[in-house]
Amino acid sequence: MHPIPAKHCLRNDFTEEYLSFIRDYCLVMSAVYIKQHFPEILAHGSDIEKRLNDSACTLESVLQDNQYYLEMCQKYHCPYILIENTYSIDLEKWIC
């Protein structure tokens, strides 16, 4: 299950002028990170959006979805940040 179709690009929703102010990065987790932090990932599932039911969210589904998003980022040359050890991101490093 992949909630956002690969062909959907948020860049198509904005004008060129507005796009010059937007920096987008996909957050991708390594398989090792997901396996080591799966309970925490589940616990924070509704931090951004209020999900009604996460019962279908399994370790295997998260690993598959994450791999899919990584492949799509690589295929379409979308910038992504790989989370491998800790979920601590210095955005200043990425926004230049």
In a domain, 3, yes or no: no
Residue 85 lies in a domain: yes
* pLDDT digit string, tens, across residues 14-33: 888 888 888 778 889 999 99
Is residue 50 assigned to a domain?
no
The pLDDT value given to residue 62? 93
In a domain, 9, yes or no: no
Which whole-number Å values give the CA distances from 7 to 1, 12, 57, 73, 93, in the listed order?
15, 11, 23, 11, 28
Q: Is residue 2 part of a domain?
A: no
Q: How confident is the model at residue 91 (pLDDT cuts 50, 70, 90)?
A: low
Q: What percent of the chain has pLDDT over 70?
A: 78
User: What does the pLDDT read at residue 6?
Assistant: 45
Domains held by the chain: number: 1
> What domain range includes position 65?
14-44+55-94
